[in-house]
């Protein structure tokens, strides 16, 4: 199906806000270290688990994404207030 071209214009250039959301990636969850290790053992992913090898290697260095300025996730309204997403035209 052909979709309207406007759907590709995801941000407003005249100062207004369009509706937008946020995607929480599993990479940023605390459980990810164990998950990466497990997946590496299972070896069920494409290209010889290439991607998970890279994750595991990165995790060896124990990257801590949490800092003093991090915020605990509450709900989508919080993300809206922080300016990470927007209701746009929704009321």
Partner 1 sequence: MTVGVVILVHNAFDRAEQVIRHWVKGGCPVAVHVDKNVDQKSHDEFVQALSDLNQVKFSKRHACEWGTWGIVAGTQSATTLLLTKFPQVRHVYLASGSCMPLRPVSELVAYLDSRPRTDFIESATTSEVPWTVGGLDAERFTLRFPFSWKANRRMFDGYVKLQRAVRFKRKVPAGLVPHMGSQWWCLTRQTLTAILQDPERENYDRYFKKVWIPDESYFQTLVRLYSGNIESRSLTLSKFDFQGKPHIFYDDHLQLLRRSDCFVARKIWPNATRLYKTFLTEDGSAMKGTEPNPGKIDRIFSKAVDRRTRGRPGLYMQSRYPNRDWENGVTSAPYSVFEGFSEVFENFEPWLAKVTGARVHGHLYAPDRVEFDGRQGSFSGALIDNPTLRDYNSQMFLTNLIWNTRGERQCFQFGPQDSQFISWMLATDPNANVSVISGAWAIKLFQSNKNFADIRQEAAHLDDGRICASPNGAAAIDR
SS3 category, 71: coil
* Pattern 21-60, partner 1, x by CB under 8 A: ----------------------------------------
Size of the chain, expressed as the number of residues it contains: 91
Residue 43 and residue 52: Cα distance in Å, rounded? 9
| Binding footprint of partner 1, residue count (CB under 8 A) | 24
Among 2, 3, 7, 15, binds partner 1 (CB under 8 A): 15
Task: Give me the residues that bind partner 1 (CB under 8 A), please.
Answer: 10-20, 67-70, 83-91
């Amino acid at each position: 199906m052909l979709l309207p071209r406007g759907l590709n214009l995801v941000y407003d250039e005249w100062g207004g806000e369009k509706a937008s959301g946020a995607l929480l990636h599993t990479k940023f969850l605390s459980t990810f270290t164990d998950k990466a290790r497990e997946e590496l053992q299972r070896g069920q992913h494409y290209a010889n688990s290439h991607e998970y090898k890279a994750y595991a290697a990165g995790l060896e260095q124990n990257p801590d994404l949490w800092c003093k300025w991090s915020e605990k996730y509450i709900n989508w309204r919080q993300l809206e207030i922080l300016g990470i997403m927007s209701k746009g035209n929704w009321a």
